Amino acid sequence: MPLKIAVYPGSFDPVTYGHLDIIDRALKIFDGVIVAVARNSEKNSLFSVKERVKLLTEILEDRPVAKVDTFEGLLVDYVRQCEASVIIRGLRAVSDFEYEFQLAQMNRSITRDVETLFMMTSVPYSYLSSSIVKEVSMLNGPVDKLVPPKVKAALDAKFRG
């Protein structure tokens, strides 16, 4: 039987415990998960793609079937290139669903070889977003319960030099 590989795409700017929750739960379902950092020059990111990949790689080093990569262009093209069959998308609230549903339907119209699996974020992370983390950190608020220590240190370096 072929390996079932899933791709979990995102900006991960920065990676949060909510992202890690989705990754860990996906790893229980699939033989491997590719955490794909999107290269989007139109987004004003705090961390460079290289910094995000480095943080994710360090944080996921104890999860050998999780691989970190980058992509640009159409996600479904990248997924097929990786010989994966599933896109993982995390949903925090109903407000996320409409946009994610549209993306999934567009991807489905491009290819029927790739499925989208929506995973509800666990309750403790339902309010959590990278944007909120950046704002709280910028204002010197506590982010220890929101991100891994390496991410907190990277945020501190960005905002407090």
Active site members: 19, 43, 92, 130
DSSP states of 141-161:
---TTTS-HHHHHHHHHHHH-
Q: What are phi and psi of 44, to 5 degrees?
A: -90, 90
- The SS3 assignment for 20 reads helix
Residue 109: helix, strand or coil by DSSP? helix
Sequence-ordered list of residues with C-beta below 8 angstroms from that of 51, at least 6 positions apart, any chain: 154
Q: What is the DSSP letter of 26?
A: H
Q: Which residues pair with 119 in a beta bridge?
A: 90
Q: Give the residue among 96, 158, 99, 97 at the shortest CA–CA distance from 133.
A: 158
